[in-house]
């Protein structure tokens, strides 16, 4: 009886160790994937970061501009950027779902 209990505890500890190792390997793989993306897209990330910094600085500095038309123009520009960024994700998902549904209905006619 004691032997079975000891074996059961050993099995549970082995399962916990395996789960911990699996979680560590998944975390390491995600970190490596992130670093690969950063390495291969570094120019795009730098240009995007510089653009966002310049645009943010411009928007911040024009909040105290003396002309209301300029302040209104910047507000409209910011609203447009926010809407475009929000709908970009939706458009991407919509395109992916259309491609997947086209692949699934390859042999069926739509007429």
Alpha helices in the chain (DSSP H): 2-40, 42-61, 68-104
Tokens of 102: 């086209």
In tens digits, what is the pLDDT along the chain, a chain of 111 residues? 555 656 666 666 655 566 566 666 777 777 788 788 888 888 888 998 999 999 999 999 998 999 999 999 999 999 999 999 888 878 888 877 777 776 666 665 554
Comparing C-alpha atoms, which of 33, 43, 58, 48 is closest to residue 85? 48
The pTM (predicted TM-score) of the whole model is: 0.51
Tokens of 21: 């190792």
Length of the chain: 111
């Amino acid at each position: 009886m004691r032997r079975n209990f000891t074996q059961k505890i050993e099995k549970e500890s082995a399962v916990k160790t395996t789960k911990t190792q699996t979680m560590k390997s998944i975390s390491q793989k995600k970190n490596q994937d992130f670093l690969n993306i950063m390495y291969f897209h570094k120019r795009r990330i730098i240009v995007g970061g510089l653009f966002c910094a310049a645009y943010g600085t411009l928007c911040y500095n024009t909040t105290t501009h003396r002309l209301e038309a300029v302040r209104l123009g910047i507000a409209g520009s910011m609203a447009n950027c926010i809407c475009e960024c929000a709908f970009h994700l939706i458009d991407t998902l919509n395109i992916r779902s259309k491609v997947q549904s086209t692949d699934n209905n390859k042999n069926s006619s739509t007429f």
